[in-house]
Amino acid sequence: MNFGCTGGAELVIDSTGFSIAGNRPRPFLSAVKVLRRVVLEDVVNVEQHGTAVRLAVRESDTTSIVQILALDELDAEHIVSRLPTTKTGSFVPEMAERAQFSRSLQEVSPKTPTTYALLIINIAVFILCAVLGAGVIRPNPQLMVKLGTNFTPLTLDGQWWRLLTSMFLHFGLLHLSFNMLALYVNGTVAERIFGSLRYSVIYLAAGISGSVASLLWHSQANAAGASGAIFGVLGAMIAFFLRNEAGVPRSVVKSQLNSAGVFVLYNLMMGASSQGIDNAAHLGGLSGGFFVGFLLSRPLQADRVEKDWTRQWLIAVSAIAAASLGMIFLIAHKANPAIRNFGGVKLGTPIDQLIKAKGQPITRGGSAYVYNSVDSRHNGVITVLVTSEKEGRVRAVLYDGDRESAPPEIPYLHGLSKDEVVTRYAPIRGSQRSDNGYVWIYFVGGVEVSIQNGVVVSYGAFDIAQ
């Protein structure tokens, strides 16, 4: 039974059952309203964990798990008091197994200093950036680039330190808050499972893997945040429970894998439906964390610190080094981030070669040659701007039209606000305002946009060498 409500939901409990009303997000679509009713006779195994209430609902041949997040612990206690106390036969043993697992975690790693240190560092860096003018609610993307985001053109130009520094930078308070909550919830468990040193290696390796994946996937991106590293922490825990060499009870393994899987899949689905979420970094971090976590897993035994793990470390370091060389190879063969082709036209092409390749334009005015972007049946045109009739080379290519006809080299930008496009492609190389109210903005990576009334009306690429 999947309620999947986010952003707050209404829970009503009466003498025969309870109802939940709220909104469920859908990838690429608007949220759908949800109204579900559960009969109290079908509710079993109610338990409370802080502000969370977890229960099982028996439906014909299956049993579904429902989790309700209350406003506070008192509210959670009130919800539990209104629900049945019935427990199934397997519930008590499973509770005992979970309790034993929790005790084992406390025994092997009673403290989690690395997680708290990471929380403090991320929050401190955010405050420092805000003081310097990077913004609290609305970020300043150009300043964020200067402070060390993973900005594709600069990272590929030799500023490799951005792969690391970007892990500790966040675009606004909301971005920071979501990541720090996820880090606290998952990091404290992962640090107890692996130990502080191994956990630190996993976190950094996963974060850098996420940064590399983002760099390789996007031709132009201004990325930052701890989410790649946090996904890596989840990946490492998934690897640990899949190996299960520590004799963790089956019910605990199943519960932990389900929780981690739901978290990962839900966030990837949300990322797929939002332009501002970097799923490449999430998948890269998840893969890197799983890889290193698999290598560094060890049993949850109190005497594990007394054992010799030299062989495991040698294997892990060798494997990480080999993976790093593979990443370096991929990065070294990534094309120059500056855009050279757009809409079937190569920047710098002489006019005679342009006409030979594209044919005669549908209209021509001075230094502008206008072509259908796909064919006459589609709504979209490519405007090719040349340096001059005398020099005759393509200096810019712009697109104006609908999404269906848009060239693939640059994501569709029509309708985005100035702030949205600046956040994506900053820093700005230059800008100018025309007499008819248009504002032209030129970005370092070669992207050019035309803005009117605060939104993008055309966009494309310009030759940064000219």
* Residues noted as catalytic: 227, 282
Task: Give the CA count within 13 Å in the CB-facing half-sphere of 321.
Answer: 6
Give me the phi and psi of 119, to 5 degrees please.
Answer: -60, -45
What's the residue count for the chain?
A: 466
Residue 252's CB is within 10 A of a number of other CB atoms, namely 19
Could you tell me which of 444, 459, 449, 361 has the C-alpha nearest to residue 151?
444
Q: Coil, strand, or helix at residue 395?
A: strand
Spatial distance between the Cα atoms of 56 and 206, rounded to a whole number of angstroms: 34
Could you tell me which of 464, 461, 445, 465 has the C-alpha nearest to residue 385?
461
Give me the phi and psi of 254, to 5 degrees please.
Answer: -65, -45
Nearby residues of 201 by Cβ (< 8 Å), 6 or more positions away: 292, 296, 316
Q: Coil, strand, or helix at residue 342?
A: strand
- Is the distance from CB of 444 to CB of 454 less than 8 angstroms? no
- Is the distance from CB of 24 to CB of 34 less than 8 angstroms? yes
Q: Coil, strand, or helix at residue 357?
A: helix
Spatial distance between the Cα atoms of 225 and 175, rounded to a whole number of angstroms: 8
Helix-strand-coil percent breakdown of the chain, rounded to 5?
A: 45, 25, 30
Angle formed at CA 362 by CA 357 and CA 367, multiple of 5 degrees? 75
- Structure token pair of residue 296: 């560094």
Angle formed at CA 316 by CA 263 and CA 226, multiple of 5 degrees? 35
Checking 103-108 for CB contacts under 8 A at 24+ apart, the result is 104/300, 105/189, 105/192, 105/193, 105/300, 106/192, 107/302, 108/192, 108/195, 108/300, 108/301, 108/302, 108/304, 108/305
